[in-house]
Amino acid sequence: MTTIYVSDPVHPEVLEELSTLGRVHLGYGETAVDYTEVSHEVEAVLLRAERFDAAKIAASPRLRIIARHGVGTDNVDIDAATAAGVWVSTTPGSNSQAVAEHVFALLLSLARRTPYGATGTAAGAWAELKPQMNGFELHGRTLGLLGFGSIARMVATIAAGFGMHVIAHDPYVEDAAITATGARPATAEEVIAAADVLSLHLPLTDRTRHLLDADALASMKPGAVLINTSRGGLVDEAALAQALTAGRLTGAGLDVLEGESVDMKNPLPHSVIDVAQVPNLLVTPHVAGQTAEAFLAAGTGALAAIRQALTGDRPATAINDATAPTYS
């Protein structure tokens, strides 16, 4: 019988469909099993936040596919998977709309100080809050986008509805494609320096790690806002904390932290930045893509890839070149 491992909660409809393919072991909940207990028999993994390293892959002789529930693969050793003949797939576009909308959830919360006002009101304050609730409007301001993939393009579309001016940089996207959305192409340095709001939409690589370091943060407009819904390692969190504490930036909204590279499920103890102590910092727990619609879309996409791999086909959304393993 086919054995499938699901690391974290997925949509109930997806779980039900998986159960028709074989025996499903859950890495969460009351019946949770540790992957090491079943690695010898698992043929497919539906992976969310759990780290899947070379050791786990080596302990999985029957494994055919690691299907990511989302687009990031930071928690998968792709080289080890490829060497072992294991497909790694993602679900591109499944959460683009959700993440784009979350960019504005963070931005509007910072612009209008919504969390501060709501918390204060719940504590019984009212009139004394009003003098501290002066915010700013998005209309007429410049939104800078570093990276111009599907999520950034949706962000640009939403920004146009607010009457914002959009400038963007992506070395892998032609200027004509940026211009076609109504945005203006610019260099990375120009985007950082000119943006009233800077939003990051980049993968984390050796070249992009700490792209927003102390020097880059210092080159931002005084009073600008930073939004990061991509990867925590793009930003030097120690430098960001200093910029916020010094009042150089109006605020920052983060859905990701550097500490996720150590522990995706609980990065706070491993993060340089103390989210409770930094003023004008709004952090959400990597939930930008977590809507009912995106949850189902990502799960359905991962399920489709698992079906293809189990029948011996290359998954349509595979990101590596793997030759399916053979075993008795």
Which residues are known to be catalytic? 231, 260, 286
DSSP one-letter code for 312: T
* C-beta separation of 299 from 13 below 8 A: yes
Dist. CA 216–CA 1, nearest whole Å: 54
Dist. CA 285–CA 292, nearest whole Å: 16
Dist. CA 160–CA 190, nearest whole Å: 20
Closest CA to 324 of 264, 316, 313, 60: 313
Amino acid at 65: I
Dist. CA 75–CA 78, nearest whole Å: 9
* C-beta separation of 71 from 98 below 8 A: no
* C-beta separation of 183 from 201 below 8 A: no
End-to-end CA distance of the chain: 13
Dist. CA 24–CA 17, nearest whole Å: 10
* C-beta separation of 202 from 146 below 8 A: yes
Task: Kindly provide the b/e burial profile for residues 300-317, where b requires at least 16 CB atoms within 10 angstroms of the residue's own CB.
Answer: bbbbbbbbbbbeeeebeb
DSSP one-letter string for 178-191: HHTTT-EE--HHHH
* C-beta separation of 120 from 113 below 8 A: no
